[in-house]
Amino acid sequence: MHPNPSLTDSCLHLADDALILGHRNSEWTGHGPILEQDIALSNIALDLIGQARNFYQYAATLKADGSTEDSLAYLRDGWDFKNCLLVEQVNGDWAKTVLRQFFFSAHQYFLYERLQESKDETLAAISEKAFKEVAYHLRWSSEWVIRLGDGTDESHRRMEKAVDELWKFTGELFLPAPYEAQLAKEGYGVDLLSVQPLWKEKVNEIFAEATLTIPVEEEGKETWMQTGGKAGRHTEHLGYLLAEMQFLQRAYPGGEW
């Protein structure tokens, strides 16, 4: 098997996305507003971490340099992480968390739907499994966006604030990194630009029912989007996240249960 750096990097990107969001969601465990929703979000976090494991295990095989799923998750520094900026944002309130989940699950839904057809059998297999799980995530988060958006004055206000805070990170989801573009060209990856209109349609549909407004482009200019995560240029939040997530492995190298 000859090494394909685009495949390895894309795999790491998919793993990092899932792990970082899984970690963020797990920060709600024990702090959710209602017991059943605490459990729901914890289950979603678990699904995501499971997906991350699958991608990390594959990436470790591809790298064939002694890397393991654990070394990739716990021993890389921030600039080596390829997750998009959206998933590393702090949780904020419940409105921000469900909105972040909605934006990201809608992205994963259409992405995995297509990645199932990848010429790479492992990517296809992981996606086939993940796609079924993400369908539940998308439904859960869509329902919450509507409940809160079309809810009370306060919940609506919080949702609008969440939209203001998170919208600028949604562009990156569809801007292919060089390794993604290369992988799509080779037939192993997904053309993100083909996914974007589907995502926009879903957002329009849910926002309409949630009585939320999508930030509008002004004077023919595109809404400005923050990018860089896929290339390892992260917001300040990732540093704190990794410090907490990786602390135990860094402090006690090789430590096991």
Partner 1 sequence: MVELSDILKSRKEAIRAILAGVNDPEVPVLSVLDLGIIREIRVAAGDAGQGPGEGDDRPAVEIVITPTYSGCPAMDMIRMNIRMALLEKGYDQVTITTVLSPAWTTDWMSEEGKEKLKAYGIAPPHPVQQVCHTELFHRGEAVQCPQCHSYHTQLISQFGSTACKALYRCEDCQEPFDYFKCH
Q: How far is the CB of 206 from partner 1 (least distance, A)?
A: 8
Identify the CA nearest to 20 among candidates 247, 244, 241: 241
Q: Which is nearer to partner 1, 59 or 177 (CB)?
A: 59
Burial 98-132 (b: 16+ CB within 10 A, else e): bbbbbbbbbbbbbbbbbbbebebebbbebbebbbe
Q: Which residues contact 116 (CB under 8 A, 6 or more apart)?
A: 124, 127, 128, 131
Q: Which is nearer to partner 1, 78 or 94 (CB)?
A: 94
Q: Which ranges in the chain belong to alpha helices (H)?
A: 5-26, 35-63, 69-74, 85-88, 94-115, 121-149, 153-166, 178-185, 192-209, 236-251
Q: Which is nearer to partner 1, 124 or 214 (CB)?
A: 124
Q: Which is nearer to partner 1, 147 or 157 (CB)?
A: 147
Q: Which is nearer to partner 1, 47 or 180 (CB)?
A: 47
Q: How far is the CB of 41 from partner 1 (least distance, A)?
A: 8
Q: How far is the CB of 228 from partner 1 (least distance, A)?
A: 28
Q: How far is the CB of 98 from partner 1 (least distance, A)?
A: 13
Distance CA 113, CA 63 (A): 26
Q: Which is nearer to partner 1, 109 or 182 (CB)?
A: 109
Identify the CA nearest to 237 among candidates 81, 105, 74: 81
Q: Give the interface with partner 1 as residue ranges (CB under 8 A).
A: 22, 36-37, 39-44, 46-51, 53-54, 109, 121-122, 124-126, 128-130, 132-133, 135-136, 138-140, 142-143, 146
Question: Could you tell me if 150 and 208 are in contact, meaning their C-beta atoms sit under 8 angstroms apart?
Answer: no
Q: How far is the CB of 222 from partner 1 (least distance, A)?
A: 28
Q: Residue 23, Cα to own-chain centre: how many angstroms?
A: 11
Q: How far is the CB of 236 from partner 1 (least distance, A)?
A: 28
Identify the CA nearest to 86 among candidates 27, 147, 16: 16
Q: Which is nearer to partner 1, 39 or 193 (CB)?
A: 39
Q: How far is the CB of 203 from partner 1 (least distance, A)?
A: 13
Please tell me what DSSP assigns to residue 216. Answer: P
